[in-house]
Amino acid sequence: MISKKNEVNRLSHDSNCIFCKIVEGVIPSHKVYEDDNVLAFLDISQVTKGHTLIIPKEHSKDVFELSEETAAKLFSAVPKIASSIKQTFNPIGLNLLNNNGEAAGQSVFHYHMHFIPRYGSGDGFGAVWKTQDLPADEMAEIAQTIKENVKN
């Protein structure tokens, strides 16, 4: 049987990463879900009541480093955690948020997603962006370029 400490060592981790230290048990957290590959815990800075983070135990800096296998394991836990938050707090909505890169607001460079329960206007969270209406030919060109660069 592999001990939890040896299991963590088997996975890729960064000794300077706060989330890797949480996975190792060096830094405490308020865990809400854990399996062999995924850990979910309350965000230390609660935006709304029940604000939860989910991380892969294996260190990946961002979505660009995340393997398909790790993503599949992580995302298989997402509905479980979302349903638990809904059952527990009965929010009127839920934002799933992921920032990749400093310019996108990422502050901890270990892939993670935020579950932010929503309770109505003034609940502490706001996301505003300005949309653009692009011509159909430009949309087609953008879509084709992205399609050509998708790696199978």
Considering only the C-alpha atoms of the chain, give the largest distance between any 2 of them, rounded to a whole number of Å: 59
The active-site residue, picked from 13, 51, 59, 112, is: 112
Is 110 annotated as catalytic? no
**In what side-by-side order are the strands of the sheet with 113-118?**
31-34, 38-42, 52-56, 113-118, 93-97
The count of other CB atoms within 10 Å of the CB of residue 58 is 22
Instruction: Kindly write down the DSSP assignment for every residue of 28-87, as one continuous string.
Output: ---EEEE-SSEEEEE-SS-SSTT-EEEEESS--SSTTT--HHHHHHHHHHHHHHHHHHHH
**How far, in Å, CA of 132 to CA of 71, rounded?**
30
**How far, in Å, CA of 54 to CA of 144, rounded?**
33
Residues designated as active site: 112
